[in-house]
Amino acid sequence: MSKPKPKDRSMSENNGDSATRPARAVKRAAPSSRKGRSLYTPAEVHEIFRRFCVQRPEPKGELEHVNAFTLLVAVVLSAQATDAGVNKATRALFAIADTPQKMLALGEERVGDCIRTIGLWRNKAKNVIALSQALIDEYDGEVPGDRDELVRLPGVGRKTANVVLNMAFGQHTMAVDTHILRIGNRIGLAPGKTPEQVEAELVRIIPDEYMRHAHHWLILHGRYVCKARKPDCPACVIADICKSPEKTTSIPAPLVELAPQEIPQSL
């Protein structure tokens, strides 16, 4: 007696619908890596930052400041605001208050008047006055060069502390902002769900010789080339190394030193 033939699995048992349904489009996946690990070899990472260094040997932050204190205040004010918008507000503020003592004497109301064009200005004015008082009371009016001390100040988080340590004290810190978080994940340089995860991986992989300016190179690359909405791949000097599935070309832009940076102006 012959055995019954198995059912034809190409047809759905539910009225054969699967045989007539169109195949689902396959979404292009990002390159895989070990969780939280860079997709790039040490040699590739070195080459990425070597090229950034050729482009901008001495990159600079775009927040105007005259000393460590005004830098700290500017970075605190920059949360959820553009550098251009902060610069517009702080020019008048720093002209009359460039120390904690002068800022405290100015008072919260007048500080608020100066920064009214910045988002969350009321809360930021309170923080500026409070951190000025804390610097006077605990640090003799000086900005401390220690992360643990900085994050104790009102309005100062890890990113702000890292910016100040890098720019004012020359420390090899990595402040992860929205641009760096995006690049770290988009191109697989330092995948991570949080700024802390991306920071840890970048610090692990970036050669020490490039760590001093790595923060600014990545920010500028994200701000002007690897943009949020549409990356400008033809203008990218690492297009041949980049492993992003979004890239539109593998031909790198000419590697030349760029013109000196201009501080962004706000009308």
| Residues recognised as catalytic | 159, 177
Q: Is 233 annotated as a binding residue?
A: yes
Q: Which residues contact 59 (CB under 8 A, 6 or more apart)?
A: 52, 213, 216, 217, 220, 261
Q: Is 53 annotated as a binding residue?
A: no
On whether the CB atoms of residues 235 and 225 are closer than 8 A, the answer is yes
Letter string b/e over residues 123-133, b meaning 16 or more CB atoms within 10 A of that residue's CB: ebbebbbebbe
In degrees rounded to 5, what are phi and psi of residue 95? Answer: -70, -25
Q: Which residues contact 67 (CB under 8 A, 6 or more apart)?
A: 98, 99, 168
Radius of gyration, alpha carbons of the chain:
25
Task: Provide the token pair at 118.
Answer: 């910045």
Q: Is 236 annotated as a binding residue?
A: yes
Letter string b/e over residues 23-47, b meaning 16 or more CB atoms within 10 A of that residue's CB: eeeeeeebeeeeeeebbbeeebbbe
Task: Provide the token pair at 266.
Answer: 């706000």
Q: Is 114 annotated as a binding residue?
A: no
Residues at the binding site for [4Fe-4S] cluster are 226, 233, 236, 242
Annotated binding site: 226, 233, 236, 242
